[in-house]
């Protein structure tokens, strides 16, 4: 029986709408992928898992895992596999080249004095007289007694003066939060992003002073994942919940806590106490507690380009493997094969399956530590060089280029 013209038209129209919906769904529901020029591990093929045995090999002792990896893979193979990465050949300008050549003639001052104003989380032990490149000396201080005639004033949580007159110190303003909000009154702006005047990454040692760095070589084999968050953002909570329901974990913070209260890590790991004579703080035993777990879940507050915070670097420093959700160009900041990028999996189920497989394969797990043991840094060396640790000299160089107090006011 022949279809009537009106029915034929209706069917054709319905098929057309179906194709459009299918196209839009495919376009918008793709798993996020990084924009980094550094190739990501092919997680979907599980290529890092050892092929010597398909039988799970649960392990606790990280030293034994290292020995297995050394005998079956070794640093020579790892270095060859990541040769291009070790040469820092990223094509993305995610990091300022702070170790590159400097034109000394651009520096208009031989000595720069910077006075840090107002409240800031910048640690007091940054106060010092630094010897920088090109013979430049840099005085960085929170004391007006020491920096009595500053060439620049440094502000973080306090808005700089609205106006600057000729002869006044330059105004330096820093915002390391995801929004990179300028004060509108600064002469030099510092953020985590390479596009701003001075970049400061979260990778430096000064981000975690006064901690207990006793790390455990024995990994928890029953509870795989450490997570601690006390800022319960809805999107982050929902993402964590979807993954953690699939993996045995301990959650120590206020968010999704399953330990019967916050800050219970010290009851499990008393050796992580920083000072028995002082009340413990949430951060002073962080690295020690993390080190007992094979994995640490690290989810950024905001997932935006280049915003790679201490959440990731704390996990790396603790000897755990981060499961990371955050900056799409994260691979421009970290060592090769050092984290599990959660955004590269098609589903939470696939990610959880991979994590469990790595947890039961000592060779695959040890490979996530090979960058450190074999000295293959990739861009991580540049990330550390652009951190808070080197900020004083780099800010003093920026002030010197502008000629400090002698800079023309606008």
pLDDT-wise least confident of 13-27, 87-101, 266-280: 13-27
pLDDT of residue 208: 65
pLDDT of residue 19: 45
Of residues 83 and 26, more confidently modeled: 83
The pLDDT mean for the chain works out to 86
Radius of gyration of the chain (CA): 25
Q: How confident is the model at residue 285 (pLDDT cuts 50, 70, 90)?
A: confident
pLDDT of residue 49: 59
What does the pLDDT average to over 317-332? 96
Phi and psi dihedrals of 251, rounded to 5? -115, 115
For residues 116 and 141, the answer to whether their CB atoms sit within 8 Å is yes
CATH of domain 62-86+208-380: 3.40.50.11660
Q: How confident is the model at residue 204 (pLDDT cuts 50, 70, 90)?
A: confident
Residue 27 has pLDDT above 80, yes or no: no
**Domain definitions of the chain by residue range:** 62-86+208-380, 104-200+388-406
pLDDT-wise least confident of 5-19, 337-351, 379-393: 5-19
What does the pLDDT average to over 4-16? 46
What does the pLDDT average to over 32-48? 38
Share of the chain above pLDDT 70, in %: 84
CA nearest to 235, candidates 321, 299, 327: 299
């Amino acid at each position: 029986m022949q279809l009537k013209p009106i029915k034929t038209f209706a069917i054709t129209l319905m098929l057309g709408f179906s194709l459009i919906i299918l196209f839009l769904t495919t376009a918008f529901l793709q798993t996020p992928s990084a924009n980094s020029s550094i190739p990501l591990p092919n997680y979907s093929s599980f290529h890092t898992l050892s092929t010597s045995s398909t039988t799970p090999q649960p392990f606790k002792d990280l030293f034994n895992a290292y020995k297995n990896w050394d005998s079956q893979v070794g640093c020579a193979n790892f270095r060859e596999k990541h040769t291009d990465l070790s040469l820092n050949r990223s094509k993305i300008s995610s990091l300022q080249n702070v170790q590159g050549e400097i034109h000394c003639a651009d520096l208009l001052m031989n000595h720069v004095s910077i006075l840090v104003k107002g409240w800031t989380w910048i640690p007091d032990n940054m106060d010092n007289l630094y010897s920088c490149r090109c013979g430049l000396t840099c005085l960085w201080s929170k004391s007006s007694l020491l920096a009595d005639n500053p060439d620049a004033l440094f502000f973080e949580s306090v808005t700089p003066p609205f106006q600057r007159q000729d002869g006044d110190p330059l105004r330096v303003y820093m915002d390391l939060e995801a929004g990179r909000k300028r004060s509108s009154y600064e002469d030099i702006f510092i953020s985590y992003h390479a596009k701003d005047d001075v970049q400061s990454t979260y990778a430096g040692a000064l981000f975690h002073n006064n901690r207990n760095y006793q790390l455990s070589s024995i990994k928890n084999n029953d509870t795989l994942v450490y997570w601690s968050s006390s800022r319960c953002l809805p999107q982050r909570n929902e993402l964590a919940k979807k993954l953690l329901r699939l993996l045995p974990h301990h959650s120590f913070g206020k968010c999704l806590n399953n330990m019967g209260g916050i800050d219970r890590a010290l009851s499990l790991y008393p050796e992580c106490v920083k000072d028995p004579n002082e009340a413990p703080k949430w951060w002073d035993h962080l690295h020690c507690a993390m080190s007992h777990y094979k994995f640490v879940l690290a989810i950024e507050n905001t997932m935006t380009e280049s915003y790679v915070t201490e959440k990731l670097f704390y996990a790396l420093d603790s000897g755990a493997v981060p499961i990371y959700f955050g900056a799409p160009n994260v691979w421009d900041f970290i060592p090769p094969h050092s984290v599990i990028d959660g955004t590269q999996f098609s589903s939470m189920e696939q990610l959880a399956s991979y994590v469990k497989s790595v947890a039961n394969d000592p060779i695959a797990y040890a490979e996530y530590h090979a960058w450190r043991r074999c000295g293959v840094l990739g861009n991580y060396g540049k990330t550390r060089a652009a951190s808070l640790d080197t900020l004083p000299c780099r800010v003093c160089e920026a002030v010197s280029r502008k000629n400090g107090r002698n800079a023309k006011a606008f």
